[in-house]
Structure 1
Amino acid sequence: MEILAMILAGGRGSRLDILSEKRVKPSVPFAGKFRIIDFTLSNCSNSHIYNIALLTQYMPFSLNEHIGSGRPWDFDRRDTSITLLQPHEKPDGHSKWYMGTADAIKDNIEFIKRKEPKYVLILSGDHIYKMNYNWMLNDHKNNNAELTVAVKRVPMEETSRFGIFEVNEDSKIISFEEKPKEAKSDLASMGIYIFNTDVLIKYLEDMLEEDLDFGKHVIPKMIEDERKVFTHTYDSYWMDVGTYDSYLEANLDLIKKSEEVGINLYDQDWKIYTRSEDLAPVRIGATGSVLNSLVCNGCKIEGRVENSVLSPGVTVRKGATVKNSIIFNNTYIDENSHLDTVIIDKKVYIGKNCLIGHGDDLTPNKEKPELLENGISVIGRSTIIPEGAVVERNVRICTRAKIDDKNKLIKSGETLRR
């Protein structure tokens, strides 16, 4: 086998908060019909890399069900497969959760040895991008590299959010700094690595840190040892949808013109594959209208949808409006309710005459101001919003929470629990 792809898909995604209460971050719906993981899986399929290992950990049920045998991505071939790997007990009786990115790979080192690939491609399952990994592999071979790291140029004012590499004129890495205050370069790590298998195994087996991480431990050690470590520069759209703000932005990027920003979902030469539901076509009624939006199968639109993304099976009744919002599967928005800049999880009921995302008060969320401060309100799965309720800005309504019929006003910055 030439190359084995190992996809890290076990992260909880705590900054996605309510959206990752009952699912792992890569399993969060995206762009209506997809999941976040679909972009990485489709990149592998389009790159003709069919030997895949998916490393899961936190709340893997939704993700496991979505992946199945890997058929939508053509992974269920005679001589290839997708393997789901979870933390497991070792022969010495020792077992633990994955503690870091490299620790997760180290815990499955016997799997790599059994497969005997020449190269190991390590990927994150929670980024939105389209990339041909063969171009990176060609760079790796041409440089006679032992490790190649995918990097993307970022604005200098954003370098403090990333691991930053300094390289020479041949793209060989000469220094690396994690989230520097004053960066020497604008080349940010994308968390995508190609290792020579023998080198990867050597470093994983030699390093004893419990929280073993590629960025913190493995890459700095290889640079210190003057190993052949190079970069591959990627210059197209890439987004880490790890926050409510970036998640909403990346979804809404998709409904802009593809030459301006975002990913072209209609490119027949690089399709994004997924496990689709069999639902009826979209129905737009006599009173319905849709402007600059993505609307998936099974939706019934009698109101107005503008600059929004609707997952399969969403209903928008007469007189209702949905603006600048992301609505997950099978949510029902009743008559004359108005939604603006909200993210709503699956199977939510919005009663008649509600105002969701209402007003100009941008008080940050009191419990989690670092997550909600720019006006987005979020409603968890299977929540019922009673008729006439008013939900203002930066509000968190947790899964299955109930609004008191006597107090239907949820003010900006509040959190409502079950």
Structure 2
Amino acid sequence: MKNRKWVAMLLAGGKGTRLNQLTNTIVKPAVPFGGKYRIIDFALSNCKNSGVETVGILTQYRPQALHAHLGHISYWNFYNRYGSLTILPPYQRDNEGVGWYEGTSHAVFQNIDFIEQHSPDYVLILSADQIYKMDYSLMLKQHIETNSDCTIAVVEVPWEDAHRFGILEIDETTYKIKDFVEKPVKPTSNLASMGIYIFKWPVLKEYLIQEEQKEFTHRDFGMDIIPAMLHDGLGLYAYYFNRYWKDVGTVHSFWEANLDLLDKQKNIFLQNTEWRIHTVENNEPPLYLDEKAKVHHSLVSEGCQISGTIEQSVLFKGVKVGKGARIKNAVILPDTIVEENVWIENAVIGSQSLIKQGVIIVSRNPAEHIMVVGNRETVDIMIEEDNLPVNKLKTVISY
């Protein structure tokens, strides 16, 4: 369903502090995922596949790698006579300083002029840090049929995770939203907002302007805009989503989402194979396994050179693993070198890092702790979860 009367605003500027060392050099949406992709590829591909032809990408924190990735625009084929993909960083307005984005709704408010250029009937708000396949046109169809002022995509999450999300209570018959609380201390429901919204543009514009006039505001959709609409009696409806979805806002969820690709029932790339996830191709040489290499139930990408043992792991492009090395239940990001006789288990290793010969990086309790090495780090001493040297806390952290 193509509709030139809607535009998407993709929020891609957050620091991603809960990913800690993995975002010390790049913004979270640019973090590699699944062996060859970046996290933002999912939202972008969903837009392309759903017929959303005009997308504004709001960037801010450490955007260089993300901008370079987005520069290969032909991979998403947004640029045509009807639409475009536009990067929208903060910029100086009038004689004031740079108008930094101070919250999710504030970021959209700062780009009202961009939206107005396209004169849409509806605006789709998206987060750039989630793993899922979704046809937004079906959500728009429900939005139009219910004459909703705002439609929120929702998914059921484990009760123990509910406090991390905006939680809704709805009418089970009509799906009309009765209550919404952002990150409640004691959730009364496990029906969570996915951070995906469709608004009538005139309604959203009014509330964005109204929010900026308040003295005290978080400038946030979940904290301010949605509760204000509910308070004023507007029609807000939930759109149920019951397929794979993962918010990769923490190191543990990022690790889990990558290892989910080893499970046929959870592997998002094996689901709805016609709904392609697009990315920039790196033109790497073929994977090389020497006579000592052993690979079991893993994803190993192009450009890798393997001489050790790989079990239940995801290795990104250009990773090199030396003889005698053992990698298990681990995610190794691009162009990292693992030297001989290294043992890595229940860990995430950042991009372009060097793990020196004989080093051990192991978590004994992955349900509670995941070992993490940052990007462009060198680890040259033995490290285990229960014996973490103080002088290496900035390099390797247990989560």
Q: Normalization by structure 2: what TM-score? A: 0.92
Corresponding position of 2:184: 180
Corresponding position of 1:191: 195
Higher relative contact order (CA 8 A, sep 6+): 2
Q: CA deviation at 1:112?
A: 0.7
CA distance in 2, matches of 1:230, 1:173: 5
Change in Cα spacing, 1:411 to 1:92, as seen in structure 2 (3 Å) is closer
Contact 2:259/2:313, CA 8 A, preserved across alignment: yes
The DSSP-based 3-state class of the residue aligned with 1:264 is: helix
Residue type at the aligned position of 1:317: G
CA distance in 2, matches of 1:417, 1:32: 23
- Could you tell me which runs of 5 or more consecutive residues in structure 1 were left unpaired when the two chains were aligned: 363-371, 395-408
| 1:254 and 2:261 aligned | yes
Q: CA deviation at 1:202?
A: 1.0
Structure 2 matches for 1:13-24, cutoff 5 A? 13-24=16-27
Q: CA deviation at 1:26?
A: 0.6
Contact 1:69/1:76, CA 8 A, preserved across alignment: no
Corresponding position of 1:32: 35
Corresponding position of 2:312: 307
Structure 2 matches for 1:352-363, cutoff 5 A? 352-357=357-362, 360=364
Structure 2 matches for 1:152-167, cutoff 5 A? 152-167=155-170
Corresponding position of 1:211: 218
Corresponding position of 2:384: 392
Structure 2 matches for 1:219-238, cutoff 5 A? 219-238=226-245
CA distance in 2, matches of 1:63, 1:265: 26
Structure 2 matches for 1:49-198, cutoff 5 A? 49-91=52-94, 93=96, 95-168=98-171, 169-198=173-202
Contact 2:103/2:218, CA 8 A, preserved across alignment: yes
Question: What's the CA shift string for 1:326-367, capped at 9, x where partnerless?
Answer: 111111122222211221112222222222227x4x7xxxxx
CA distance in 2, matches of 1:184, 1:141: 29
Contact 1:321/1:336, CA 8 A, preserved across alignment: yes
Change in Cα spacing, 1:328 to 1:147, as seen in structure 2 (3 Å) is same
Contact 1:70/1:81, CA 8 A, preserved across alignment: no
Q: CA deviation at 1:263?
A: 1.5
Change in Cα spacing, 1:349 to 1:5, as seen in structure 2 (3 Å) is same
Corresponding position of 2:372: 378
Which moves more between the two structures, 126-135 or 77-86? 77-86
Contact 1:343/1:377, CA 8 A, preserved across alignment: yes
CA distance in 2, matches of 1:174, 1:410: 48
Residue type at the aligned position of 1:220: P
Which of 387, 390, 393 is the matching residue for 1:415? Answer: 393
Corresponding position of 2:247: 240
Structure 2 matches for 1:280-319, cutoff 5 A? 280-319=285-324
Task: Give aligned-pair identity as a percent.
Answer: 41
The DSSP-based 3-state class of the residue aligned with 2:42 is: helix
Corresponding position of 1:340: 345
CA distance in 2, matches of 1:111, 1:410: 49
Contact 1:69/1:82, CA 8 A, preserved across alignment: no
CA distance in 1, matches of 2:230, 2:391: 46
CA distance in 2, matches of 1:345, 1:180: 32
- Could you tell me which runs of 5 or more consecutive residues in structure 2 were left unpaired when the two chains were aligned: none
CA distance in 2, matches of 1:252, 1:26: 18
